[in-house]
Structure 1
Amino acid sequence: MLFINQDEVSTLLSMKSCMKVMESTLIDLAQGKATQVLRSVLAIDDENVLGQMPGYLKKNGVLGTKVITVFPNNHKHGLPSHQGVVLLFNAKNGELMAVVDGSEITAIRTAAVSALATDKLSRVNSKILCLLGTGTQAKTHLEAMLTVRPIELVKIWSRNIRNANQFKEEMQQKFKVSIILCDTAEEAALDADIICTVTSSTEPILKATWVKAGAHVNAVGACKPNDRELDSELVRTSKLYVDSIESTQNESGDYLIPLKEGVIEQNHIIGEIGRLLIYKNTSRTSETDITIFKSLGLAIEDIAAANFIYEEIVRKFND
């Protein structure tokens, strides 16, 4: 059995490699070659949760579960909001093969899936990126968006000015891209071709009136039924795609709250990203459509990433 730490994960799981793994895995899920069940969530003191996410990758011969805590206010204490491990098992005999750091996997695979969705749904000439939030997910999403689109300008906003300034300095040096810090979320979102909401907010931080025609939104931060980052009007006027319809209908406040308000109907979800990935062409039907990819994160994504890392270590050892 291997214990694989955070540094090993970040070294072995590049963004481009992760995108390839996620594409294959999400297509397998869409075609019934991978299975998972809804995550089980234990509420801790109202706003915090302990979650468990099991899944089975038939083609790879592995199964596993991700055990994770989500503590949204951890950033105030210099800690990540998501912490956990992925347990990887051999599907033939049940042997525990590896315990893998889950925090780094979460950061990389979430952004990799957003990149796949962005490549299918955003306009190919998208040049202005907006990041609402400047934490761990903002860093990996910046790398992911630069991978799939010719981004020339990045507009950022955060409630924490110190974090925002640190993010700007670090990311400008790493990626050599122009980054400007905005005073408000509205200022950051205006004129953006791609918007990534990667915050711990429980209330809308992005409004329909701020999003221009033809923009694409990756909604990543909110993962509980009563939490959301998007206002109802934005969801109503956009074409909504998700990572899992079942998960969205049970866990996503960005979908459930507008549904409860009567702003949208249950069939408002157009489809899952895995289905889009089966077809090689872009899925955008109009240059003026606003598209949303609602990401909740799936067990099979974590297990596939953990298995890739495990196989890389075994391969290097055998070489």
Structure 2
Amino acid sequence: MIVLSDADVAALLPMRDAIEVVAGAMKEVSAGNANLPLRSIVDVGRPNMMGVMPGAFMPGSEATAPCYGIKLVSLFPGNPDAGYSSHQGAIVLFESQHGSAIAMMNAGLLTAIRTAAASAVATRALAREDAGVLAIIGAGEQAEHHLEAMVAVRPVREVRIVGRRREKAERFAAHAREMHPALKIDVLDDVRAAVDGADLVCTVTSSAEPLLSGDWIAPGTHLNVVGASIPSKREIDEEMVARAALYVDYRPSTFAQAGEVIGAIESGRIGKDHVRAEIGEVLGGSKPGRAGPEEITLYRSLGIAAQDLACAMHCLTRARAEGRGVEAPL
């Protein structure tokens, strides 16, 4: 077994590579080439929890080897205040010929990268080509990776940041200015002001109550709603869900775990057919993307094990080629 550290994952999975890996994985998922049981949540003392995400990835392309595995990830919302990532855990990969465990790697950074990469895949497929004003709601680890992801796929020139705590948002903005000196980057205190006239909006919080109203969003905007991963949390209101052309990563998890979508269905604002497509269907050409420059598009991301498995296999393949990682025979 090869064990890969956080530093290994950072070196082996740059954002531009991750975007292509996730795009391929999403096409395979929508083609039916993955077995993805729903994420299980284990209460380990509120607000902390552990997510268990098993999956089998059986790509139709010979470019990626079939594999199966599991991600075990702890979500501790208070960790950033102590200098730790909010996501801690490990991914274990198994090969499909004999069922042997072949790799284990840090799940925190890989999760952060693949989540932002998935938003980039959706943005590349759905956002207007000229989208240049980006609003990021949230100032944690995902905000940093989402900025990198959005810059990779659209000509971003202006960034507006809103965080729950002003000082944390200012720290993120200062770091972002160092990494992206060509961008105009501002910190705002009001979500409505931040999204006013924005072309791209990324919500990357763990809010239990909607932070963003559909009434605030201008025609032509693309949104990536990312942060809330359990039904009790929701970052946007029902008006936003109903008003937008809605795209998802995987329908079964959307209807079971996306609180905003579940709430809008239960209230009668939308039906399940309001989901226009999985993003993999758009990438594969079987379902349409943006209908015109004035349409509002919304990608509701939950994250699925196929993304983790595909990124983990990419890391393992590169690690073997480059001699990275530690061999740990079982």
Q: Same fold (TM over 0.5)?
A: yes
The one of 72, 85, 98 aligned to 1:80: 85
Residue 35 of structure 1 pairs with residue 35 of structure 2: yes
Question: Displacement of 1:47 after TM fit?
Answer: 3.2
Greater shift, 165-174 or 31-40, is seen at 31-40
Corresponding residue for residue 184 of structure 2: 178
Q: Is the 8 A contact 1:61 1:92 kept in 2?
A: no
AA of the residue aligned to 2:143? A
1:34-183 to structure 2, matched below 5 A, reads 34-59=34-59, 60-176=65-181, 177-183=183-189
Offset from partner CA, 1:205-249 (integer Å, 9 cap, x none) = 111121111101000001111110001111111111000100000
Aligned partners of 1:197, 1:148: CA distance in 2, in Å?
17
Question: Displacement of 1:158 after TM fit?
Answer: 0.3
Identity across matched positions, percent: 35
**What is the TM-score of this pair, normalised by structure 2?**
0.93
Question: Displacement of 1:78 after TM fit?
Answer: 3.0
Question: Displacement of 1:169 after TM fit?
Answer: 0.7
Q: Is the 8 A contact 2:281 2:287 kept in 1?
A: no
Unaligned runs of 5+ in 1: none
Question: Displacement of 1:184 after TM fit?
Answer: 0.9
Corresponding residue for residue 218 of structure 1: 224
Aligned partners of 1:281, 1:90: CA distance in 2, in Å?
33
SS state at 1:72 partner: coil
Aligned partners of 2:129, 2:286: CA distance in 1, in Å?
14
Aligned partners of 1:208, 1:33: CA distance in 2, in Å?
35
Residue 196 of structure 1 pairs with residue 202 of structure 2: yes
Residue 233 of structure 1 pairs with residue 239 of structure 2: yes
Aligned partners of 1:304, 1:241: CA distance in 2, in Å?
21
Greater shift, 290-299 or 18-27, is seen at 18-27
AA of the residue aligned to 1:50? M
Question: Displacement of 1:43 after TM fit?
Answer: 2.4
**What is the TM-score of this pair, normalised by structure 1?**
0.96
Aligned partners of 1:283, 1:270: CA distance in 2, in Å?
9
Distance change >3 Å, CA 174–CA 281, structure 1 → 2 = farther
Question: Displacement of 1:128 after TM fit?
Answer: 0.1
Q: Is the 8 A contact 1:240 1:291 kept in 2?
A: yes
Residue 291 of structure 1 pairs with residue 302 of structure 2: no
Distance change >3 Å, CA 46–CA 256, structure 1 → 2 = farther
Aligned partners of 2:286, 2:144: CA distance in 1, in Å?
27
Question: Displacement of 1:282 after TM fit?
Answer: 7.8
